[in-house]
Structure 1
Amino acid sequence: MLNVTNPVDGTRIAYQVIGDGPPLLMVHGTALSHVIWRGFGYVKALQDHYRLILVDVRGHGRSEKPHHPDSYAMDLVVGDLLAVLETESPSEPAHALGYSFGARAVLSLAVGHPERVRSVSAGGGSSRPMAGAFDALFFPGCIDALETQGIDGFLAGWAARRGSPVDSQTALAFRSNDPIALAAYMRRSDVEPGIDDAALSAMQIPTLLFVGSRDKQRIADSRHAAALIPNSSLTVVEGTDHATAAAASGPVLAALIPFLDDVSRSGTS
């Protein structure tokens, strides 16, 4: 693993680089880590054509895990991604792929620093305010459960809400986290204001949005963003919810690979 330090608050961010070609920044979702991209088959499918920059979001994986909610402000997360890109792709804008929280992060990066982003691929994300989002997405009281019952208690509550166990790859990634840091991250996300609609309407970066057909919390948000971003398209991954859409790498990659190839060939940035 490689590391960079956010110059604003000194938080250490871990990441890995795999493959060769145009840079593709990849940002995972809540309670996961960079290894999820390998587990779900994205690395194998993309590494021969793109230089994959796989980031562990602060508070996750091998990155530093602060315990204060203010450490997870979106502007600091975007600063983490910029620090990685300034190290790994200082003179070339990168494609940016994110799922769930990662989708929000790459959209925020694109809005705030469009010169650093060649394309955006955002799955299961939301640009809207996040108050109550984790209770809706996982189960009511999930943040308190993390603090009092740890990761296993959280996973049990989520499985009960879904009516089925969380897939093994996702559960394994969740268990690698510090529950107190994860709770702090969620509490800060709850008060984030979101991305202004006008900023999305002004985006000129090619954008692919994807979402599970059964992702009740995010399908409306994805359609909302697709309607606002001028150069965008939306792929609905049939039969999947928020927990399983990213794992359905076949249909996601069927949309993602042609999108990335088209942008790379066109030279659009």
Structure 2
Amino acid sequence: MTEPTLSDAGTEAETVTSADGTEIAFERTGRGTPLVLVHGASIDRRYWDLSGVRETLAEHHTVYAMDCRGHGQSEHPGEFELEREFEDVVAVVDSIDEPVHLLAESGGAFHALEAALRTDNLRSLVLHEPAVPGFEAALDVDEVFATMLALLDEGENDRAVTVFLEELALLTPDELEALRTDPTWPAYVDTFLETILPKVEAEVAAGYEFDPDRFAALTVPTLLVAGSESGEWLLEATDAVADALPNSRVVTIAGHGHEANVTAPDRFTNEVLAFTRDRR
């Protein structure tokens, strides 16, 4: 089902073939009940290492940290389609021979939510501020994109990514500083140009509309995690998902924003582990 490969960094990764034939990589660490990690519009699975979240979780779980398509060691498909993102999460989840906890953040949490409708192999679901399309309608997305594209045309790639994080992801200054000062930042800028921006464009083209009725029968125990200082549209999306899921609850990490898992890793992992501990 999976084949081990060796990453450039010398760490062992495994791959699984998604529904459309794209190879999706993931790295396995730790020991315990399986926990799959899905990053959002970030560099790749290394996102979970920014503040040691993956290491802490691996003390309690066998952690499967995946690279979304086009990121890290996963295959770049050339063109992106929203539905394929859901299928990739399912491919990793279904490659594991027992039910898993599924933890995802931001755009990855949206993909995980949709994936949960397409698999029976879940033990629980943890969604950190799912960035569900449509809730950002109050923002002037067209203007933000125009600014980003103008900066890219001028070769101001670093600044274009910063605009995306400030104006769309609505990161706090502390969160932005944490990302910009991490050694992975230059690689993140490259990933943004090659993968994240085309994915955002594909998502817009898909015209996704959130329908809460589709999730009425999704009874998987679900924890939604939010930061009190996050952007309004992200908090609205989180609440809407919580309202749609019949077996869910929301916890708020006070004083932190959309990257609370980076700026408050202990509080974040405590909430996650308390939730998964009761569902082994």
Task: Give the TM bin, normalised by the shorter chain.
Answer: 0.7 to 0.9
- 1:229 and 1:30 map into 2 onto residues whose CA distance is 24
Query: With structure 2 as the length reference, what TM-score do the two structures score?
Result: 0.80
Relative distance call for 1:77 and 1:142 in structure 2 (3 A) is farther
For residue 25 of structure 1, report the CA deviation from its aligned partner. 0.6
- 1:133 and 1:104 map into 2 onto residues whose CA distance is 19
- 1:210 and 1:58 map into 2 onto residues whose CA distance is 24
Is 1:174 aligned to 2:188, yes or no? yes
Unaligned runs of 5+ in 1: 265-269
Among residues 57, 60, 64, which one is paired with 1:53 in the alignment?
64
Q: CA contact under 8 A between 2:161 and 2:192: conserved in structure 1?
A: no
CA deviations on 1:104-150 (whole Å, 9 max, x unpaired) are 1111111222x1211110001144536769965x9443663585347
Alignment correspondent of 2:273: 257
Among residues 182, 186, 193, which one is paired with 2:200 in the alignment?
186
CA deviations on 1:203-234 (whole Å, 9 max, x unpaired) are 10000001111212211111121122111111
What amino acid is aligned across from residue 223 of structure 1 in structure 2?
A: D
Tell me the percent identity.
25
For residue 24 of structure 1, report the CA deviation from its aligned partner. 0.6
Among residues 198, 207, 213, which one is paired with 1:198 in the alignment?
213
Relative distance call for 1:187 and 1:142 in structure 2 (3 A) is farther
Q: How many residues align?
A: 255
Residue correspondence of structure 1 range 11-160 to structure 2 within 5 A: 11-68=22-79, 71-73=80-82, 75-87=83-95, 89=96, 91-113=97-119, 115-129=120-134, 139-141=144-146, 144=149, 148=153, 149=155, 151-158=157-164
Relative distance call for 1:178 and 1:230 in structure 2 (3 A) is closer
* Aligned residues: CA RMSD: 2.7
Is 1:5 aligned to 2:17, yes or no? yes
- 1:231 and 1:48 map into 2 onto residues whose CA distance is 27
Query: With structure 1 as the length reference, what TM-score do the two structures score?
Result: 0.83
- 2:148 and 2:135 map into 1 onto residues whose CA distance is 14
Q: Secondary structure at the match of 1:98?
A: strand
Alignment correspondent of 1:228: 244
Range with bigger deviation, 169-178 or 228-237? 169-178
What amino acid is aligned across from residue 32 of structure 1 in structure 2?
A: I
CA deviations on 1:76-120 (whole Å, 9 max, x unpaired) are 112212222333x1x31211000001111111111222x121111
- 1:42 and 1:163 map into 2 onto residues whose CA distance is 19
Range with bigger deviation, 251-260 or 189-198? 189-198
Q: CA contact under 8 A between 1:159 and 1:166: conserved in structure 2?
A: no
What amino acid is aligned across from residue 239 of structure 1 in structure 2?
A: G
